[in-house]
Structure 1
């Protein structure tokens, strides 16, 4: 048996071959390195764009690719979520799309639609709402995504968005006057803050308007939850307090009882794939 090297070495060989391409060298130079094979392939795609694309535009695209692929997988996941929220926000600004957005990116408990439990969690209509939620998502989500892994974090984030929307849906009839269409990523973001408090309880945070009074993230999370509990009980309408509070509870509950479920799911999928890759056993022949 001849050992052909590890998978990591074979990937490095492929990266080197891609970076040795004449067009890539002309674009980024001979000494430029790539963080991964997908990074190298993207640089080659940019280098081979049609000739009418200005060279400086290609260089700018290559610089953006370098910044993107040198980030961790968790950070790329978080920034992708930010991008999706920004796209949906932009769609709200197109008058022709308003009927579609009102139907598909608002969750109205009286509409009978269930998919809006998810789509509404990517929807913000005001600039301040979008900026605050995305700032919090980047600030807290990157570390959590790196600790959990990008796929696990994405599943957690999407589940948190649905769970917080569902809680708001189920509890809305308790106050019929408050049955209004809802939207926003705040419930999912609260789950991310809860995850930060569970994973990094002693991490320091500071409020923008109180920069000289740092708190631990666990203290800040408890204060937020107390505020939203009071808001939910008293029926304040300034924010979606039920969605906020339930999002935070989902994050705490998940990291208290459910983190092992993801590992079991991953192991089950890996075992199923392994079984699917095995060749079928040869049929047994009867002994004559």
Structure 2
């Protein structure tokens, strides 16, 4: 009991403690009032500022190649070629006019009153025949120390080649010279030491940024089949195109006389080749290259876009179901991978211009092979068939030939057929010497 009483008395004493035994704690009361919130003048943070920086696409990283240099080079080279050709044609024509006018004074009874282009060409052929005779004499004097049999064979070969060269037209002569240049370039491709040089300077890569290779690639052929086609086309249509250019010049009412057509033919050939190369370059850079980049930018899970144009050849298509379609697809399919920007080699674009000019200038002519079967077809049918084959090659995606360059060359030949003779006559008048007397 004593213990419990002591606890109880202690508890009662604790209850009687004064208020001064503990510190007084005061809590400050705060009144809350409700008011309408005001609009903030700060601009809200836009969503793009909160987003992470977007990674550039593949097309933005690698950029797009430009074709400005190639266009400028083509225009300047074409103007230079025609200016050079017109100046040399005027110079040579003036020289032959002076020679014939001096000789006309001694033969006033037999010489015609007006000197024509045919008169100057006949005089030029006679001068060429005399040069070839002098060359035969030089060969005979050089080979005097050899045996009689060897000397006779050498002179016989020279006489045969010289006679063949003299009997053909002037247009075929210049075509033979271009053929020899093509053969020389083809032989250079066969050299291992020259192969790096040829790859840099005689192949036009649309992504290299070079321009002069559009000109050098015209005379470059790496494959013997392509070289044979170049020589065949050039020998067959080159002389006809040259004859048509001379004929149109004579038929024009205000046409100027000219002693030679080789400079005009060379300028046309170079301009046609450059235009064909530029057409192929622009198509590959502005059409095929962006499509290639867009295909590479697509995610692997995204399906390919269904083709709706000729560019379907550049996109994968489902395999054929029937065996017949599979056979024809394997027969006419491209041997190169899809979307490949192939470097350009060969001058078939310029040859297509010659072919088109010949077909328009001589619509009644016929084409025939020089080996059996000797079946001939109208030239317009042959040209249309070849152009349709190029269109089919573009649609199917063939890469063995540059079909865009072929169509560009054909378009240039058709345009030159309409506007070329007047342009050539105007060009000769621009660079002519006004002080020189005319016949």
Q: 1:226 to 1:48 in 2, by over 3 A?
A: closer
Larger radius of gyration: 2
Partner of 2:166: 69
Please tell me whether the aligned partners of residues 136 and 158 of structure 2 are also in contact (alpha carbons under 8 angstroms).
yes
Tell me whether 1:7 sits opposite 2:100 in the alignment. yes
Alignment partner for residue 181 of structure 2, among 84, 87, 93?
A: 84
Write the distance in 2 (CA, Å) between the matches of 1:48 and 1:236. Answer: 52
Count of residues in correspondence between the two structures = 250
The alpha carbon displacement at 1:42 in A equals 3.7
Normalised by the length of structure 2, the TM-score is 0.52
Please tell me whether the aligned partners of residues 244 and 358 of structure 2 are also in contact (alpha carbons under 8 angstroms).
no
Write the distance in 1 (CA, Å) between the matches of 2:368 and 2:172. Answer: 21
Higher relative CO (CA 8 A, sep ≥ 6), structure 1 or 2? 2
SS at match of 1:205: strand
Alignment partner for residue 95 of structure 1, among 187, 192, 195?
A: 192
Write the distance in 1 (CA, Å) between the matches of 2:384 and 2:143. Answer: 56
The alpha carbon displacement at 1:97 in A equals 0.8
Write the distance in 1 (CA, Å) between the matches of 2:344 and 2:174. Answer: 25
Tell me whether 1:217 sits opposite 2:310 in the alignment. no
Alignment partner for residue 129 of structure 2, among 39, 56, 59?
A: 39
SS at match of 1:109: coil
Alignment partner for residue 167 of structure 1, among 276, 279, 295?
A: 279
SS at match of 1:193: helix
Q: 1:9 to 1:41 in 2, by over 3 A?
A: farther
SS at match of 1:179: coil
The alpha carbon displacement at 1:6 in A equals 6.5
Deviates more, 1:62-71 or 1:101-110: 62-71
Alignment partner for residue 153 of structure 1, among 265, 270, 295?
A: 265
Q: 1:47 to 1:88 in 2, by over 3 A?
A: same
| Greater per-residue helix proportion | 1
The alpha carbon displacement at 1:47 in A equals 1.6
Give a deviation string over 1:166-223, Cα, whole Å, max 9, x none: 1111100322323221111211111111011110112112468994753211121112
Structure 1 unaligned residues grouped into runs of 5+: 14-33, 279-288
Write the distance in 2 (CA, Å) between the matches of 1:269 and 1:36. Answer: 28
Partner of 2:350: 188
SS at match of 1:36: helix
The alpha carbon displacement at 1:227 in A equals 2.0
Q: 1:133 to 1:8 in 2, by over 3 A?
A: farther
SS at match of 1:175: helix
SS at match of 1:215: strand
Q: Following superposition of structure 1 onto structure 2, how do residues 95-114 of structure 1 map, counting pairs within 5 Å?
A: 95-114=192-211
Write the distance in 2 (CA, Å) between the matches of 1:71 and 1:8. Answer: 27
Please tell me whether the aligned partners of residues 144 and 195 of structure 1 are also in contact (alpha carbons under 8 angstroms).
yes
Give a deviation string over 1:78-109, Cα, whole Å, max 9, x none: 11111111111111111111111111111111
Partner of 2:365: 203
Tell me whether 1:249 sits opposite 2:342 in the alignment. no
Tell me whether 1:265 sits opposite 2:392 in the alignment. no
Q: 1:245 to 1:51 in 2, by over 3 A?
A: closer
Partner of 2:231: 134
SS at match of 1:163: helix
Please tell me whether the aligned partners of residues 205 and 214 of structure 1 are also in contact (alpha carbons under 8 angstroms).
yes
Write the distance in 1 (CA, Å) between the matches of 2:131 and 2:373. Answer: 43
The alpha carbon displacement at 1:160 in A equals 0.9
